[in-house]
């Protein structure tokens, strides 16, 4: 029985299609030749815009109560409030929602999925799946094979995050700041915040009562949930750097036993979604620009911690719009699609 | 007996006067109204250049065997090889050398001094004093009061370092990269290294056999020497970010007892050379641009580690050309000058 005889419905909606992540979702769907039956680009403020994908222009519709009728998978590249408003509508219409916002990530009944790490969380046919934080995704892909091999005990992280992670307005603000600061200090930011351009800003998202930012706590909360280590101790610093695309992170992890750098590189090399760039003798290590435009997480600079013999330090870099957001969401859609194909095959 | 009746000789040479640090040394000497009897701007490749200081232009002389005759204090803002060549000449001529290179920092008989922290290391009238690494200086000023109060046990650091820390050619390379990359990827670097512009580069200085860069090991070696904690365990990641001036660092320190953030802020507030910027509720924390142009080390984002209850995380920012180099060197010169005044007073 030829596989192509099976037909699984693939009507896809993309909410937030005009944003940085939404446009990248469309690009990744196209690159991966996702077998679409229908594509519905949606936006909360459509206003007659179009997006380009699969070699043609698509009108973007304003999202409405009827937008998700007949939709199989809805990819949400939207802010929390928009996701909270429309996820129930999409689910009621029968769509499975893959949400890139943080609105549902910490709900016990919502799987938080990085397919290379915990695709098994998709079993049970969930109708709402959360896509993790952009920095967290890269870090957990790099940690997962080490954690499985050696048991992860504690985690410290310092991030170097690209401005596109804050959305298209922030990205435009960076460009204005860079141009306005070519021959002097950068101009103040429109919203009064500290300049992105030529600066390091150790605040991403709002502050929590414990002195950490919400971005820093997301790295803790989400790493625990994805790696299924609910008691893992995690302390993070998240900082914005004047980079367009490409989140980097210094990672300092302590395991139950020492993990020699050679073992780490070997574990990484055989894990999906990772590319090891770790050859100091030839000046090879991950950088933000190396990660820009690719789907793999780059990992390198592996070395034994000088503070704890069971500690390993490494550095990772990933495209925050791709693996950190759109690619991971599309991978979840592909995994759901494969599950649907399997179900259809069993049903024959 | 009026103090001004005392005359202490203050003939100052500045080697590397045309570089980024050398020019900042001249600016800081002027700002601090250092009471000069004579100023000799020197360079290893002078070629008829001039520098501006104290309201006038000064010709820069090519350094020679006679350059240090009669000089009291020689401030070296030069690369290791130049410092190694000329420090013995200057000392033989009777000058006290304050060297900004790393050539002598790890010699047991050479004090490595951050005046706020270990000015006592200047006792004994040393004729060669080393100025520490730019990142290390900021970190040890912030750590010193905490270490004294609570005993420092381990230290992890991740730096966000400005490109000016790599010298004027690197700074020019950053500007070329930013301009060349305004509308696309930045051009390749002249020396073949990864672009500074729009990038994060986790390599500063060459790699050591243990997988750490020399910059990362300098933070370990120098923190131990300055804080007089020879066995302190230190693990660092040093990365370059596309910032002109202003080194930042994520610091995660473990003490013998818990140091509540309020206690840390209080200890910092009463320590010289530090400015606490730590008011999350009002979006106040240290940034690289805030540090640009000032002599204080900015410190904030104090919070208890979520990995160790005796751990404290904080973030610091400092002007790498000022407190990270020139200002610290001039402060050492001022301390030597005060010692000379005291000696002269005792001799009367």
User: Which two structure tokens, joined as six digits, stand for B132?
Assistant: 């520490």
Q: What is the pLDDT of residue B4?
A: 52
A134 as an active site residue: the answer is yes
Q: Is the pLDDT of residue B5 over 80?
A: no
**Cα(first)–Cα(last) distance of chain A, in Å?**
10
> Residues A130-139: what's their mean pLDDT?
98
d(CA A130, CA A97): 8
pLDDT in tens, A250-268: 999 999 999 999 999 999 9
Mean pLDDT of chain B, nearest integer: 95
pLDDT in tens, A68-113: 999 999 999 999 999 999 999 999 999 999 999 999 999 999 999 9
> Residues A271-298: what's their mean pLDDT?
96
Residue B66 three-state SS? coil
> Residues B42-54: what's their mean pLDDT?
89
d(CA B137, CA B234): 15
Question: Taking CB atoms and an 8 Å limit, are B193 and A283 in contact across chains?
Answer: yes
With vertex at residue B173, the alpha carbon angle to CA B171 and CA B179, rounded to the nearest 5 degrees, is 105
Residue A276 three-state SS? strand
Residue-level length of chain A: 348
Nearest chain B Cα distance for residue A238, angstroms: 9
Nearest chain B Cα distance for residue A198, angstroms: 4
**Nearest residue of B to residue A194, measured between CA atoms:** B287
A288 touches chain B (CB under 8 A): yes
Which band of pLDDT confidence, cut at 50, 70 and 90, is reported for residue A342? confident
d(CA B287, CA B285): 7
Strand ranges, E, within A60-175:
61-62, 73-76, 96-99, 128-130, 152-161
> Residues A270-274: what's their mean pLDDT?
98
Q: Is the pLDDT of residue B201 over 60?
A: yes
Q: What is the pLDDT of residue B288?
A: 98
Nearest chain B Cα distance for residue A327, angstroms: 21
DSSP H helix total and E strand total for chain A: 9, 14
Question: Taking CB atoms and an 8 Å limit, are B237 and A158 in contact across chains?
Answer: yes
**Nearest residue of A to residue B247, measured between CA atoms:** A200
> Residues A220-239: what's their mean pLDDT?
98
Q: What is the pLDDT of residue A2?
A: 46
A233 touches chain B (CB under 8 A): yes
Which residue shows structure tokens 């540090």?
B291
Q: Is the pLDDT of residue A279 over 60?
A: yes
Backbone angles phi, psi at B155, to 5 degrees: -145, 125
Which of A107, A134, A250, A316 is labelled catalytic? A134
Q: Is the pLDDT of residue A320 over 50?
A: yes
- On chain A, the residues whose CB falls within 8 A of the CB of B201 are 287
- On chain B, the residues whose CB falls within 8 A of the CB of A201 are 287
Q: Is the pLDDT of residue B3 over 80?
A: no
Q: What is the pLDDT of residue B7?
A: 73
Q: Is the pLDDT of residue A1 over 80?
A: no
B307 touches chain A (CB under 8 A): yes
> Residues A322-328: what's their mean pLDDT?
97
Nearest to B277 by CA among B268, B287, B286: B286
Q: Is the pLDDT of residue B309 over 70?
A: yes
Q: What is the pLDDT of residue A4?
A: 52
> Residues A219-236: what's their mean pLDDT?
98
Which band of pLDDT confidence, cut at 50, 70 and 90, is reported for residue B340? confident
- On chain B, the residues whose CB falls within 8 A of the CB of A242 are 198, 241-243
pLDDT in tens, A43-59: 998 767 999 999 999 99
Q: What is the pLDDT of residue B344?
A: 86
Which band of pLDDT confidence, cut at 50, 70 and 90, is reported for residue B1? very low
Which band of pLDDT confidence, cut at 50, 70 and 90, is reported for residue B51? very high
Q: Is the pLDDT of residue A5 over 60?
A: no
B284 touches chain A (CB under 8 A): no
Which of A107, A120, A247, A250 is labelled catalytic? A247
User: Which two structure tokens, joined as six digits, stand for A185?
Assistant: 């200090």
**Nearest residue of A to residue B184, measured between CA atoms:** A244
Q: What is the pLDDT of residue B209?
A: 96
Chosen from B250, B261, B285, B312 to mutate, greatest number of chain A CBs within 10 A: B250
Catalytically active residues of B, by annotation: 134, 247
Cα dihedral sign, B247-B250-B256-B260: positive
By Cβ distance, the residue of A156, A243, A289 closest to B156 is A156
A281 touches chain B (CB under 8 A): yes
B54 touches chain A (CB under 8 A): no
Q: What is the pLDDT of residue A281?
A: 84
Q: Is the pLDDT of residue B56 over 50?
A: yes
> Residues B123-138: what's their mean pLDDT?
96
Q: Is the pLDDT of residue A280 over 90?
A: no
**Nearest residue of A to residue B153, measured between CA atoms:** A307
* pTM passes above 0.90: yes
């Amino acid at each position: 029985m030829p596989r192509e005889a099976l037909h699984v419905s693939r009507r896809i909606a993309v909410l937030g299609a005009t944003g940085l992540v939404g446009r990248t979702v469309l690009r990744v769907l196209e690159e991966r030749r996702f077998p679409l039956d229908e594509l519905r680009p949606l936006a909360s403020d459509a206003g007659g815009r179009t997006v380009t994908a699969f070699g043609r222009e698509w009108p973007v519709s304003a999202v409405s109560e009827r937008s998700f009728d007949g939709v199989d998978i809805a990819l949400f590249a939207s802010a929390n409030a928009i996701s909270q408003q429309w996820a129930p509508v999409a689910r009621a219409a029968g769509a499975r929602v893959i949400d890139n916002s943080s609105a549902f990530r910490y709900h016990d009944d919502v799987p938080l999925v990085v397919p290379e790490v915990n695709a098994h969380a998709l079993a049970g046919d969930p109708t709402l799946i959360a896509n993790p934080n952009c920095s967290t995704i890269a870090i957990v892909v790099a940690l997962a094979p080490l954690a499985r091999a050696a048991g992860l005990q504690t985690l410290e992280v310092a991030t170097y995050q690209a401005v596109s992670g804050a959305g298209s307005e922030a990205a435009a603000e960076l460009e204005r700041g860079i141009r306005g600061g070519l021959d002097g200090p950068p101009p103040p930011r429109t919203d009064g915040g500290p300049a992105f351009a030529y600066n390091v800003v150790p605040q991403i998202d709002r502050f929590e009562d414990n002195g950490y930012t919400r971005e820093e706590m997301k790295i803790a909360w989400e790493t625990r949930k994805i790696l299924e280590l609910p008691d893992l101790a995690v302390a993070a610093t998240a900082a914005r750097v004047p980079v367009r695309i490409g989140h980097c992170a210094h990672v300092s992890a302590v395991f139950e036993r020492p993990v020699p750098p050679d073992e780490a590189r070997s574990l990484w090399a055989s894990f999906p979604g990772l590319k090891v760039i770790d050859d100091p003798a030839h000046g090879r290590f991950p950088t933000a620009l190396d990660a820009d435009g690719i789907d793999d997480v780059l990992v390198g600079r592996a070395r034994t911690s000088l503070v704890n013999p069971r500690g390993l330090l490494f550095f990772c870099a990933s495209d925050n719009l791709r693996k950190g957001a759109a690619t991971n969401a599309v991978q979840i859609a592909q995994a759901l699609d494969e599950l649907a194909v399997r179900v259809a095959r069993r049903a024959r």
